[in-house]
Structure 1
Amino acid sequence: MEAEKRTPSSCLHVVMFPFFAFGHISPFVQLSNKLSSHGVKISFFSAPANVNRIRSMLNDASTTQIIPLTIPHVEGLPPGVESTAELNPTQSELLKVALDLMQPQIKTLLSQLKPHFVLFDFAQEWLPKLAYELGIQTAFFSVFIALATAFVTVPARLPEPGRSPTVEEMQKPPPGFPQTSVTSLRTFEARDSLYVFKRFHDKPCVYDRVLSGLQGCSVILAKTCNEMEAPYINYVKSQFKKPVLLVGPVVPEPPTDHLEEKWAKWLDKFEANSVIYCSFGSETFLTDDQINELALGLELTGLPFFLVLNFPANVDVSAELKRALPRGFLERVEGKGIIHTGWVQQQQILAHKSVGCYLCHAGFSSVIEAIVNDCQLVMLPQKSDQFVNSKLVHGDLNAGVEVNRSDEDGFFGREDIKSAVETIVFNIDKEPGKSIRANQKKWKEFLLNKDIQNNFIKTLVEEMEAIAGISSI
């Protein structure tokens, strides 16, 4: 029976319950859109302050029901601020404390909704036990690539529970890790990764939460595919010994609204594929020194550029820019460079014919957006999974170039920016630029093949229905 012909009683019903950060919410919404188009009923849990933005991200045809949750009062957590976008790192940790206090509320909602599955995130490691008591299946939906799970959050990473690894231990892959281009982390990357073992407010650390969630769930859902990550997927399967269902890369739908006129007019002035678009996401903040070197590096390329910089909430952006940008920089690049702070229509900008290079933090959604829009990738990862994302794209997939940095502190200079851009933009008939471009074209064709991408979701729905005992015949 086709999905659209199923009766409500035979329809797969899934609850989506991401962590309250839009880097997590967005993949859950994208998956909701895909599942909804295959006849799956979706109930989406989030904080009230996030509801309007979630609704704006849903497809017009989506039947997803958004259910606002009541966020408990936690000392130090500002009332009404319910996503990490508006919080400092210390306050963001308090969101996890609030989540832990929501178990009775979630149990009541699940008892009323009676879904077949709950798709949950890393911070709700208590959910499998709660759902099991209600006879509901659980799926840990990892919004990260399989390589991130395989390298950092498998049982083999920490054979002695309760002990945090050293920087040197963190640099090496865990025992049994597959032989691929990914052989180690640099010192500054390993040091950043140790955050997952840090405890806050006498609560479980991220590693403990992730491991408990992965071990307790019915199945693992991974936002990836065998074509891109087979060795890491197989390693995760061997570590957790349970089904790993592949969602596919979840390619976003093309935007339906047009690029804002002022940006379209500015980009129209330049030749095809000549503009560098540079952005690091809404929750990544570069230091003054990094902004200075990045800006000078972009200037050295001689290419027009659109640079998006973001800053923490409640800071004087004008003062920050004045302090961070090189003296006389804005005057020198006038007409050829844009410096923007705040939100922009990223997908529409990447799709513009003049934009040919995307310099980014290697968030995997950004990587996918770059490839499908035929923008050459220059990666400058800043934190957590971004480091291994860049290693996958630069190493295994050979579809982008990473900016050279020092091992100890991750320093990059203006010449490093210029060199990375030149490799991928100017040296198109030389290696490694030539093969990178060829591979990027191959991955673009793969990602834009609607039959392939649709089949990922079709197969996922069939597998979930089989586990839930729903007949699709």
Structure 2
Amino acid sequence: MAEVHIAMFSWFAMGHIISYLHLATQLAARGLKISMLLPKKTLLKLQHHNPQYPNLIFHPLTVPDVDGLPSGAEDTSDVPFPNHHLLAIAIDRMREQVHDLLSFIKPALVIYDSAYWIPDIAKQLGFKSATYHTVSASTLAFVMVPSRFVPKGRPMIEDECREIPHGYPSSTVVHRGDYEHRSLAGLSRPFGEGMISFYERTTTAMRNCDVICIRTCREVEGKYCDYIAAQYEKPVLLTGPALPEETSPLEDQWDKWLGGFEADSVVFCAFGSQYILEKDQFQELVVGFEMTGLPFFIALKPPTGCTTVEEALPAGFEERVKGRGVVHGGWVQQQQILSHPSVGCFVSHCGFGSTWEALMSDNQLVLVPNLGDQVLNTRLLVEELKVAVEVDKDQNGRFSKESLSEAIKCVMDKDSGVGVMVKKNHSELKQVLGRPGLMSGYIDQFVHNVHELVSTP
């Protein structure tokens, strides 16, 4: 086959960018030429994910100033969550810059997510366009399809959910808790230049592209992929989880520390780059881990108002857990930690990237969702697939040290009925997902579909 040139331009969040990079790496390994369009400083942040392919090229972009956006901000980790809409404005103001770069590099296909104006550029310059979604298909099916919207400026809720695919957990409706309702209500708020909403920019991107691509597989979300295809009347291509096929060894200091504990005994916790706890919730969390009596490794960003995790720890905490607990505020190799023999439980925010890494591991899963898609991912894992448990929260979306500790002990207790059930279900699902050739087959089929797409007039 002739070489195909693909440009990739994702939403400026590290979770999205790394997911795009994982896909780019696998496509480059199969001979496609990939051009990734990234903010300048983001290239430095990708040093831990440094793929060496001559046909994978990075093109730096300049993020423009926007009133209210912190100086030098380039991705969501630089911007408080309530101000992410300002980053969307910055992306929209990069339209001409992106147009000029695409005009110069001349790809056959551009893969994007948030930049809903890419299809217009594609038509002008004569290339194809595809959205690539790193959130779950079930999330897209619930809130990002035409029938899910009411023209009053809010997503459908409760009794308006009649068309959801059969089998979707009934409690997925956003009235399950007030905090969940609020986490999804932002879909209708302005999110970009010209007061466009998050819902509008996402559905416009999906409606105007040539094909929709999703980071998932039919074995987990087939019915939701079919539903999305029917709603948008266009092909839906799947890449599988597109996790790296090879990973670097775990850093020696963490390998040695984890190696000091029995198999399946350590509880690992990580909440991604966007989930920043309030200080009191951070303290509830670490004390909840202490209360389990189990060894633990927590990797979180410093809570609100703190520059380090150490300054946020409760008085006497470090002395009490010395030798069995670590709270780390820097970057860690999550995938490698999850595969360490001593780790037996993963406490996650249920972002979809972490969800795939969790499902492909042997760990028990405890979920603490925060943002809207995390809440819906949790419904999928807890209520439909039954491979995880969720930490109880109050109506304000706050968990207690007791509820966290109880959830962890529930899955780690070998005599717990719930723990045995989720372990069995997770193990069976992993066997399906781990079948030889299944995941690489998704990428191979995706490459075949891309060749067909770009060769079609």
TM-score bin, normalised by smaller chain: over 0.9
Contact (CA 8 Å) 1:359, 1:380: kept in 2 or not? yes
Which residue of 36, 43, 47 corresponds with 2:28? 36
Contact (CA 8 Å) 2:303, 2:312: kept in 1 or not? no
- Does residue 424 of the first structure (1) align with residue 414 of the second (2)? no
Matched with 1:222 is 214
Matched with 1:333 is 321
Residues 62 and 379 of structure 1, relative CA distance in 2, 3 Å threshold = farther
Matched with 1:174 is 161
Further displaced range: 440-449 or 236-245: 440-449
Matched with 1:129 is 120
Shift of 1:342: 2.1
Secondary structure, aligned partner of 1:67: strand
- Does residue 208 of the first structure (1) align with residue 195 of the second (2)? no
Correspondences of 1:227-242 after superposition (within 5 Å)? 227-242=219-234
What is the alpha-carbon distance in structure 1 between the residues aligned to residue 160 and residue 360 of structure 2? Answer: 31
User: CA-to-partner distance for each residue in 1:252-305, whole Å, 9 max, x for gaps?
Assistant: 3342233232x2332222111111011211221112332233223222221111
Shift of 1:398: 1.8
Matched with 1:19 is 11
What is the alpha-carbon distance in structure 1 between the residues aligned to residue 148 and residue 227 of structure 2? Answer: 12
Secondary structure, aligned partner of 1:317: coil
What is the alpha-carbon distance in structure 1 between the residues aligned to residue 86 and residue 168 of structure 2? Answer: 37
What is the alpha-carbon distance in structure 2 between the residues aligned to residue 15 and residue 95 of structure 1? Answer: 21
Contact (CA 8 Å) 1:120, 1:139: kept in 2 or not? yes
Identity value in percent: 35
Matched with 1:151 is 142
Secondary structure, aligned partner of 2:327: strand
Matched with 1:404 is 392
Secondary structure, aligned partner of 2:256: helix
Unaligned residue ranges in structure 2 (runs of 5+):
none
Secondary structure, aligned partner of 1:99: helix
Matched with 2:425 is 439
Q: Taking structure 2 as the reference length, what is the TM-score of the superposition?
A: 0.92
Shift of 1:79: 4.5
Letter in 2 for 1:274: S
User: CA-to-partner distance for each residue in 1:298-338, whole Å, 9 max, x for gaps?
Assistant: 2222111112231368843368514xx3x433322222211
Q: Taking structure 1 as the reference length, what is the TM-score of the superposition?
A: 0.89
- Does residue 457 of the first structure (1) align with residue 443 of the second (2)? yes
**Number of residues paired by the alignment?**
452
What is the alpha-carbon distance in structure 2 between the residues aligned to residue 73 and residue 450 of structure 1? Answer: 48
What is the alpha-carbon distance in structure 1 between the residues aligned to residue 103 and residue 334 of structure 2? Answer: 40
Which residue of 333, 350, 364 corresponds with 2:352? 364
Shift of 1:430: 4.6
Shift of 1:111: 2.0
- Does residue 270 of the first structure (1) align with residue 261 of the second (2)? yes
What is the alpha-carbon distance in structure 2 between the residues aligned to residue 72 and residue 106 of structure 1? Answer: 12
Shift of 1:77: 3.2
- Does residue 164 of the first structure (1) align with residue 154 of the second (2)? yes
Contact (CA 8 Å) 2:368, 2:391: kept in 1 or not? yes
What is the alpha-carbon distance in structure 1 between the residues aligned to residue 354 and residue 263 of structure 2? Answer: 21
What is the alpha-carbon distance in structure 2 between the residues aligned to residue 370 and residue 319 of structure 1? Answer: 27
What is the aligned-residue RMSD (CA, Å)?
2.3
Unaligned residue ranges in structure 1 (runs of 5+):
1-5
Shift of 1:58: 4.2
Matched with 2:362 is 374
- Does residue 286 of the first structure (1) align with residue 277 of the second (2)? yes
User: CA-to-partner distance for each residue in 1:149-181, whole Å, 9 max, x for gaps?
Assistant: 111111112132x5235xxx5356634111224
What is the alpha-carbon distance in structure 1 between the residues aligned to residue 210 and residue 449 of structure 2? Answer: 12
Matched with 1:301 is 292
Letter in 2 for 1:177: I
Letter in 2 for 1:331: E
Letter in 1 for 2:271: F
